[in-house]
Chains A and B, each alone.
Chain A
Amino acid sequence: MSSISPEEVAKIAKLARLKLSQDEIALYQRQMSRILDSMAKLRQLDTQAVPPTASVPWIEPSPREDEPAAFSNASALVALAPEREGPYFKVRKVIE
């Protein structure tokens, strides 16, 4: 009942920014359907009155001032860019 269609798989791949081959789409359609089916058991549990856990309770947010600090190895960061110009990352045109 959780089975998903090849079209849905292709749509998810688009959302996830993943280029998949037709074979991959077919494979993931089968595997995801099976995995999602196995997860249907969660529906047996009535969780309406149960609050969700996003993280463990002993971690409290510890706000601090947003103060910029120098990163000592900045040139090594830029050096990782596949395409760069001087100290800049080169990015494809974003807005037509």
Chain B
Amino acid sequence: MSKTLPPKPRRLKGGDGALSAAAIASGVRSGEASAEEIVRGRLDAIRKDDPTIKAFLAVFEDGALEAARAVDRKRREGGKLGRLAGVPVALKDNLLVTGTISTCGSRILENYRSPYDATVVGLLKSEDAVIIGKTNLDEFAMGSSTENSSFFPTQNPWAPGHVPGGSSGGSAAAVAAGFAPVSLGSDTGGSIRQPAALCGIVGLKPTYGLVSRYGLVAFASSLDQIGPFSRTVEDSALLLDVIAAKDPRDSTSKAAPRNGGYAEGIETGVKGLRIGLPRQYFEAQGSDPEVVSSVRESIRALEAAGAVVAEASLPHTDYAVSTYYLIAPAEASSNLARFDGVRYGLSEKNAPDLGALYEESRGVGFGAEVKRRIMLGTYALSAGYHDAYYEKANRVRTLIRRDFEEAFKSFDLLAAPTSPVPAFKMGERMKDPLSMYLADILTIPANLAGIPGISVPSGLTSKGLPVGLQLLAPAFAEKTLLRAAFALESMRPFPRLGSRD
């Protein structure tokens, strides 16, 4: 028995939506904060504001409180707490959590109860994170606005009536609105970076292979990557530390060379760092001049801090959208063949025979954009068109990859806008699929090349809409990305929402 009383702990306010994951974890570990109070605070915020924002498809009120109490109990009993102790995490609804529904934003999976945890979910739980709910997305992650969700659209917390971006729009909106300090999304053509930009937060797409996709519902397997959303650069580093791991259950996962944690050396600064500005990214079709000028201003700040900035060129940029919209739908048409109405998911049981069961279940279960992409992909892979479309796209993919290899001979990083435009109005691009596809013009090339990218807040437009700056790095150079992003954050403090309360 201890004779002296412990000092009265300074309590971190559970209701403070501005607390970072790093602050929560250290507070919970030291006993300054209770995980239950933290989680209760976020659940209250969700209950109050999510009926307007609609970031969540499901909120795990009971499960989250129970998990939080278990974390507090573990601390009281002297157990060693993990790196995300008591941190509320929101997950895109294409990541499986045992025993809970994972809809993927689709009617076809409306009642799908996950029989296992995604690898990333297991890793979060093992570090004592608290999963608070599942977030909205474009159906099967196909879209750039979250309007393709089969359930409802999500509002941009900065501007009602505007989209949060997509496809991980719910995960981005949840963090921007202060419902959770961090969340996970997936990025196949920009689905983490673009909504991060439109919602004024940090979003990181890791190198292809760095994070296991086991338990992520597959969209386009040669492109999909899971990554974090956060309000601070340090929190994205912390999340990446937890989720980056080689996994025998994903044959494309790779053990990455890592010198210490991703947050280590994050404050080193950008002195001497060579940053290239890809000319084509600043001249993209439909670019908003306010986006370009905000990004240029941020780059001047990096230059003033010692970065060596020069123009770069990625000559095949203009071909990336076409290349992507052949490869991704082709892979999707194959991946989504598993939805057959037999093993799980929506089933049109009155269909007269097996063929009709397949066609009717899929015809009813999939939404318009998913069907459109399955059709495009089937076409691109079909006899007579395979060489002209799919094979051709894979060859152009090599040229796009080589553009980056060439650029990274002269530069450590590339910097550009994340999205050519800020958040657009709901409905604005829904009538014309091609205009929606062009929203990804600046994020798609990194997926085709497999390299990592991060979007960090650069500023606000005159209408108060967030602008994102994108940094791209060679494969496995996440530490350089995070270092430059951190430098920018220190020089141009990110504007925030949800820190009122």
Contact = CB atoms under 8 A, between A and B. Distances in A.
A70 interface: no
Contacts of B360: 19
Interface in B89-130: 98-99, 112-113, 115-116
B437 to A, nearest CB: 8
B354 A56 contact: no
Interface in B348-393: 349, 353-360, 362-364, 366, 371-372, 374-376, 378-379, 382, 389, 391-393
Interface string B20-33: 00000000000000
Given A34-B434, A54-B222, A77-B115, A15 B378 contact: yes
Majority secondary structure of chain B interface residues (helix, strand, loop or mixed): helix
B49 to A, nearest CB: 34
Interface string B447-479: 011100000000000000000000000011000
A59 B333 CA distance: 23
A94 B371 contact: no
B351 to A, nearest CB: 8
Nearest 6 interchain pairs by C-beta: A19-B363, A56-B450, A82-B347, A52-B394, A47-B395, A80-B344
Interface residues of A, number: 50
Contact of A56 (B209, B340, B374, B376): B209
B404 to A, nearest CB: 11
Contacts of A94: 354
A92 B449 CA distance: 43
A53 B400 CA distance: 10
Contact of B398 (A9, A32, A51, A89): A51
A12 interface: yes
A50 B395 contact: yes
A61 interface: yes
Contacts of A61: 251
A50 B378 CA distance: 24
Nearest to B253: A59
A19 to B, nearest CB: 3
